[in-house]
Amino acid sequence: MNAPTDTAEARELALAGMGASRLRKEDARFIQGKGNYVDDLKLPGMLHMDIVRAPVAHARIKKINKEAALAMPGVHAVLTADDLKPLKLHWMPTLAGDVAAVLADEKVHFQMQEVAIVIADDRYIAADAVEAVEVEYEELPVVMDPFEALKPDAPVLREDLAGKTEGAHGKREHHNHIFTWEAGDKAAADAAFDAAPVKVSQHMYYPRVHPCPLETCGCVANFDPIRGELTTHITSQAPHVVRTVVSLLSGIPESKVRIISPDIGGGFGNKVGIYPGYVCAIVASIVLGRPVKWVEDRIENISSTAFARDYHMDGELAATSDGKILGLRVNVVADHGAFDACADPTKFPAGLFHICSGSYDVPAAHASVKGVYTNKAPGGVAYRCSFRVTEAVYLIERMVDVLAQKLGMDKAEIRAKNFIKKEQFPYTSAFGFEYDSGDYHTALQKVLDAVDYKGLRAEQAAKRADPDSPTLMGIGLVTFTEVVGAGPSKMCDILGVGMFDSCEIRVHPTGSAIARMGTITQGQGHQTTYAQIIATELGIPSEVIQVEEGDTSTAPYGLGTYGSRSTPVAGAAIALAARKIHAKAKKIAAHLLEVNEGDLDWEVDRFKVKGDDAKFKTMAEISWAAYNQPPEGLEPGLEAVHYYDPPNFTYPFGIYLCVVDIDRATGETKIRRFYALDDCGTRINPMIIEGQIHGGLTEGFAVAMGQQMPFDAQGNLMGNTLMDYFLPTAVETPKWETDFTVTPSPHHPIGAKGVAESPHVGSIPTFTSAIVDAFSHLGVTHLDMPHSSYRLWKSLREHGAAL
């Protein structure tokens, strides 16, 4: 009845399911230049938008004269806040419960803020017309420092909030204060400190950086005045949320709004928010009845779209004299810029910063984060990390180093002493997180053995003993835990929408399949890896599984891709949708084989009758039967939808070690070795994991060693081009060594935890740890990023280590 077949192992291999290093399906089009990005889209009759931006950081707008611009041939419209006012679109809600100006309304709050838009026949005319718009400013005192902003006599930045003593996150204590958010138990932490024999404290500044994706932000808005439908192609990491927001703002029913995220050239958190440019292009298209394209340039992207970090942190640890941590206290002043537009779950204005007790069993902890307005661009997104987790990991990892230094203990030893032990999982932290699984001791030992840690320390001691050594050698060690996969909707929502995600799978009659997702890939390789999950769950070769994302008219609703949530949330939705199909397939197989379901076994790609290897039905056969001869009482077809609301976050972890050699004459730093062990639970595609880790380490290297957004006292951003802003190429990037352990998540359907952000989160403090370690024998406990050659050269001179 059935032809002889390959062995189960051979068939499993042929599926290219979970665990296979399947080549990326996306690359064929990208390496041939056949990707389809927003800026590739050209529609008939399409107009172009450009933006008039403020040259100053804080000013009153006295007059805008648009006559000269409007008189230019090819210019269709010039719009200012006054034009948007009747539509009530001159301000818009932010993701953080604040409002942000769409176009500057009477006042400019940061340099490069959007003041007016020009719509013209082409990009060049639009750019020329922008120069013809005359704006008269009355300059106001500029506040660039959040500590200055909180002084009693500091200039009032947000006049629109005058008299508002309650913000979205509680009481506002000052006219430039946004919120103060606390987590943990202050009394318990204070008590631990009162009783502790050893206390350390450290101030550190995590500089403002920018995710700087290679593709800048943009959209093509196309309102069809006949049908009353709005289609917008947009660079968004969360197209469904954009649809909801656009519908709410415009009044167009959600069913008539179609948002499409086509190929996205990197997001890293920068493409989560809704920017004035999008809103203006949509308004312009509705007003003019023609498609309008807006694509920002690099300077606009770095200057005005969402930044990350900008946290001024004070950490304190209390410990026993042999290095057991007793308590943690953290105080943060967070510079949020002119509008609070942080992309965080609604209840968490400082994101998941309270993961800052890290991988350690800390009995008592308290954290307080104070958000402040300044004359900088708004943002505060999770740059390749879960919400504010990078800041949290940096804080705790630095503090553990500072404590080790104070006690004269080894960095590895103090960590092993304080780790949450394998048998303590699931572990509830002092901040209330329930860590799902982990085995930190095994992973740490694996790394220490792999790099010959003792040998490295001996080499360092020898170098320190030699006054003529041309370099300072530093060893950085970080043992981090992330919290990703937001999130349980009882805790996490964005604008009231719970942070579930979704998958719809259809198996076609001939046994191939399509999966549609609420997420959107921006380089992660979803089209490759999602198919592998289905291949393993359903026995359908991944080669014949299409994965579609990003079109709100075809995909089920989802919250999108950021905060490492695709695999932990959408990956679970896929597995569970597939299992629904699997259950139906089993019914059909039982019907076809004329046995009870209980008599069937699943093997790779088929149901077999127990005890009779010759009697089976493959998924391909079952698919055909599902449409053409379903059992009586069972509806035809083979498809399922699943919306997954995770019961908990997932907690990937890693052990990173870095060896640096700092040239004592020039401050130049050579990353001699970087060893990254990651545990992301079940591994879906090892090749993609390795690629993601390489990418994340490289971005971490960029942040730690060079990225910064320097402002002068007048609010000019002095580094908003790629001439200044550090994006490492293959030339600067060190060699990476990767390793792994596998500790599956017990609550995730396939045990996966998410990985792409771990290398960014984990590597940044590793570089700082290594740099500071090189100086530690000179009494240095901390050096702020970026660790550029110039800054290190100054440190070398300051501490008498320069040659």
Q: CB–CB of 326/188 below 8 Å?
A: no
Residue 588: closest CA among 576, 600, 578: 600
> What's the N-to-C CA distance of the chain in angstroms?
83
Q: Cite the beta strand spans of 320-470 per DSSP E.
A: 325-337, 364-373, 427-428, 434-435
Beta bridge partners of 167: 170
CA 730 to each of CA 670, 734, 765: distance values in angstroms, whole numbers, following the listed order: 14, 8, 22
Instruction: Point out the catalytic residue in the list 113, 237, 522, 527.
Output: 237
Residue reference for tokens 């190929």: 263
| Cα–Cα distance for residue pair 237/209, rounded to 1 Å | 19
CB 559 within 8 A of CB 494: yes
Give the residue with the Cβ less far from another protein, 108 or 484.
108
Phi/psi for 248 (5° steps) reads -65, -40
Upstream peptide bond of 633 is cis (omega within 30 degrees of 0): no
- Considering the complex, what minimum distance in angstroms separates the CB of residue 699 from another protein? 24
Q: How many helices (H) and strands (E) does the chain have?
A: 20, 34
Tell me the one-letter amino acid at 626: A
Looking at the Cβ atoms of 263 and 300, the one nearer to another protein is 300
- In terms of phi and psi (left: phi > 0; alpha: psi -120 to 50; beta: otherwise), the region of 667 is left
- Residue 237 — φ and ψ, nearest 5°? -85, -5
Give the shortest CB-714-to-another protein separation in angstroms: 5
Q: How far is the CB of 702 from another protein (least distance, A)?
A: 20
Contact predicate 301/212, CB 8 Å = yes
Q: Judge if the upstream peptide bond of residue 786 is cis by omega within 30 degrees of 0.
A: yes
Exposure letters 206-243 (e unless 16+ CB within 10 A, then b):
bbbbbbbbebbbbbbbbbeeeeebbbbbbbbbbbbbbb
- Identify the CA nearest to 294 among candidates 221, 354, 223: 221
Q: What is the DSSP letter of 597?
A: G
For residue 757, indicate whether it is catalytic: yes
* Active-site pick, 391, 397, 537, 757: 757
> Which of these is catalytic: 212, 217, 385, 658?
385
Quote the least distance from Cβ 557 to another protein, whole Å: 40
Q: Is 237 a catalytic residue?
A: yes
Question: Which of 130, 404 has the CB closer to another protein?
Answer: 130
CB-wise, 16 or 129, nearer to another protein? 129
For 202, the 3-state DSSP assignment is strand
**Cis amide leading into 426 (omega within 30):** yes
Judged by beta carbon, residue 108 or residue 547, the one nearer another protein is 108
CA angle 227, 229, 235 (to 5 degrees): 155
In whole angstroms, the minimum distance from the beta carbon of 131 to another protein comes to 4
Contact 280, 114 (CB under 8 A): yes
**Length of the chain counted residue by residue:** 803
Q: Which residues of 362-394 are buried (b: 16+ CB within 10 A; e: fewer)?
A: bebbbbbbbbbbbbbbbbbbbbbbbbbbbbbbb
Q: Quickly list DSSP for 349-361.
A: TTTTGGGTTTTB-
What is the spatial order of strands in the sheet that 75-80 belongs to?
75-80, 114-120, 47-53, 292-295, 218-224, 229-234, 257-260
Residue 60 or 586 having the CB closest to another protein: 60
Binding site for another protein (CB under 8 A): 53, 55-57, 111, 131-132, 134, 137, 299, 712-718, 720-721
The Cα 586–Cα 746 span in angstroms is 26
Q: What is the largest CA-CA distance in the chain?
A: 88
Distance of alpha carbon 779 from alpha carbon 91, whole angstroms: 51
Give the C-alpha separation, 492 to 55, whole Å: 38
Radius of gyration of the chain, Cα coordinates, nearest whole angstrom:
28
Nearer to another protein, 113 or 618 (CB): 113
Closest distance of CB 61 from another protein, Å:
13
Q: Which listed residue (384, 565, 664, 791) is catalytic?
A: 384
CB within 8 A of 17, min separation 6: which ones?
532, 533, 535, 536, 542
Count other Cβ atoms within 10 Å, centred on residue 717. Answer: 25
3-state secondary structure at position 102: coil
DSSP designation for 759: H
By annotation, the residues acting in catalysis are: 237, 384-385, 757
